[in-house]
Amino acid sequence: MTNETTRSTAKVRLYGLPNSAEAYEIRDFLNRSVVEFDWIELVTDEDCNRELGLSALRDLRLPMIEFPDRTQLFSPSIREIAQRLGWVTQPKFREYDLSIYGAGPAGLSAAVYAASEGLRTVLIERHAVGGQAGTSSLIENYMGFPQGISGADLAERARQQAVKFGIELLLLREGIKAEFKHDRIYVDLADGSKMVARANICATGVEYRRLGVPEEDQFLNLGVYYGAGASEAPMCRNEHVFVVGGGNSAGQAALHFSRYANHVTMLIRGANLAATLSQYLIHRITNTPNIEVCFNAQVTGLEGDATLQAITITNEQNGTVQRVDTQRLFVCIGGVPNTDWAKDTAIIRDNAGYLITGSDLLRAGQPPASWTRTRDPFFLETSVPGSFAAGDVRHGSVKRVASAVGEGAMAVTFVHKYLEENG
Ligand SMILES: Cc1cc2nc3c(=O)[nH]c(=O)nc-3n(C[C@H](O)[C@H](O)[C@H](O)COP(=O)(O)OP(=O)(O)OC[C@H]3O[C@@H](n4cnc5c(N)ncnc54)[C@H](O)[C@@H]3O)c2cc1C
């Protein structure tokens, strides 16, 4: 992703073994970054000969990615791919008016408004643009898109808009530690560099929650996937896939898979869908013949050799245990906030780690003792002046694309007020 408004349309080709965890990670990244690519499975020496003119599959370091100019990378990391695509760049300035962490809907929206309103802004994203929304196959409840829009497309549009207004986007960089001094925020990035800004917006969202089953790590990306697995659906033809979770993201994932898989089973801990799922999704799910919903169900075991082959499901109500064959389990059970970076700062978090902002910081009408201003914290401002939070990471936020976008835009207004106040 260069800082241009458009991207190359020529196709990337990705070659790999079926069920390769590394190839899954690359497909997921390319899909979320709206890079068009062909996925070519190599199983035999003949495949290798036909596709690449090479005789022995075992001599190839897979996965292998070929770019439109025919250059190739063997067994590459995501960073190497992003670097090759020209997306890993160096910061242009030593100090910014505003640094935004996280390029999900909240961060992207903040970036669009901040850059369009003339703030020297940097947007820092540790992985792919789009955040959780980028993994959604179809967002149907975001205003202005009556036919729905894929999360990756929505994110790509926002990225282009932000770039058009002059945002500086630094990909594959992660904020790991923050320090607030001299009215500046100093952030250590995971690559060892430092970022300095006069104000910041934390839009780091949430991280997928795990199942908590012992064999989970063994099958990660080898049959067990976190999130909606939008890139995997076309590979599920004739399969029986399982989706864990009863929220909107799980419902959307089930509907998406139902277009490809033979059968989709949703495993839900609760006793009904109404408590967690929007009405339009309930209607669609109950009217899709190849989706089955299992209530009171919990995954309690995973089995397989190199890849997942079966799962154990326990009915929490009557205690019955069932073992079923499947090669794919998608886990969509919400998440925990990405706020570890704040733990050694004066930023106040709630018990679950969400950042507390605005009037939620007041106790008996008083700001916390650490608060250094005579005014109360602005709406969306954390307990450190000039440090704001927007989107899912914020205590009490509505977990929706529209609200994250709204908060991102709103936070920028308060950044202006804060910067004016600081002269
Ligand atoms: C599969 C799925 C489908 C969904 N469908 C819908 C829908 O149809 N409608 C709807 O309204 N909502 C939907 N949601 C919810 C919606 O996507 C979220 O509410 C929204 O994405 C929250 O946006 P955000 O920007 O606050 O955080 P996120 O989307 O979580 O983005 C946070 C970003 O911050 C990055 N990050 C985290 N830590 C750091 C760090 N230290 N440094 C740098 N970057 C960091 C992450 O990599 C991520 O890109 C869906 C969610 C999922 C998972």
Q: How far is the CA of 72 from the centre of ligand 1 (A)?
A: 32
Q: Once rounded to an integer, what is the mean pLDDT over residues 13-31?
A: 94
Per-residue pLDDT for 2 more than 50? no
pLDDT at position 3 is 42
Per-residue pLDDT for 9 more than 60? no
The residue whose C-alpha atom lies closest to atom 5 belonging to ligand 1 is 249
Task: Give the ligand 1 atom nearest the CA of 140.
Answer: 8
pLDDT tens digit string along 159-190? 999 999 999 999 999 999 999 999 999 999 99
Per-residue pLDDT for 1 more than 60? no
Q: How far is the CA of 348 from the centre of ligand 1 (A)?
A: 21
Per-residue pLDDT for 257 more than 70? yes
pLDDT tens digit string along 85-96? 989 889 999 999
pTM for this predicted structure: 0.88
Q: How far is the CA of 133 from the centre of ligand 1 (A)?
A: 5
Q: How far is the CA of 130 from the centre of ligand 1 (A)?
A: 7
CA 62, chain centre distance (Å): 25
Residue 218: DSSP 8-state: G
54: pLDDT confidence band, cut at 50, 70 and 90? confident
pLDDT at position 324 is 97
User: What are the b/e assignments for 386-411, b being 16+ CB within 10 Å?
Assistant: bbbbbbbbbbebebbbebbbbbbbbb
pLDDT at position 10 is 67
Is the CB of 246 inside a 6 Å radius of any atom of ligand 1?
no
Per-residue pLDDT for 228 more than 80? no
Is the CB of 382 inside a 6 Å radius of any atom of ligand 1?
no
The two tokens of residue 420 are 């004016």
Is there a contact between 378 and 418 (Cβ–Cβ < 8 Å)? Answer: yes
pLDDT tens digit string along 336-362? 999 999 989 999 999 999 999 999 999
Four-residue CA torsion sign, 394, 400, 402, 405: positive
Residue 353: DSSP 8-state: S
The two tokens of residue 178 are 């923050």
Angstrom CA distances, 224 to 76, 111, 159, 218, 299, stand at: 22, 34, 30, 9, 12
Per-residue pLDDT for 142 more than 90? yes
Task: Give the ligand 1 atom nearest the CA of 408.
Answer: 25
201: pLDDT confidence band, cut at 50, 70 and 90? very high
Task: Give the ligand 1 atom nearest the CA of 133.
Answer: 17
Which of 88, 401, 405 to mutate for ligand 1's pocket (most ligand atoms within 8 Å of CB)?
Answer: 401
The residue whose C-alpha atom lies closest to atom 22 belonging to ligand 1 is 392
Is the CB of 203 inside a 6 Å radius of any atom of ligand 1?
yes
pLDDT at position 135 is 86
Is the CB of 407 inside a 6 Å radius of any atom of ligand 1?
no
The residue whose C-alpha atom lies closest to atom 42 belonging to ligand 1 is 174
pLDDT at position 251 is 95
pLDDT at position 368 is 96
pLDDT tens digit string along 388-397? 999 999 999 9
pLDDT at position 159 is 96
pLDDT tens digit string along 288-309? 999 999 999 999 999 999 999 9
Is the CB of 387 inside a 6 Å radius of any atom of ligand 1?
no
Residue 136's nearest CA partner among 291, 297, 298, 145 is 145
Angstrom CA distances, 386 to 4, 79, 183, stand at: 30, 31, 8
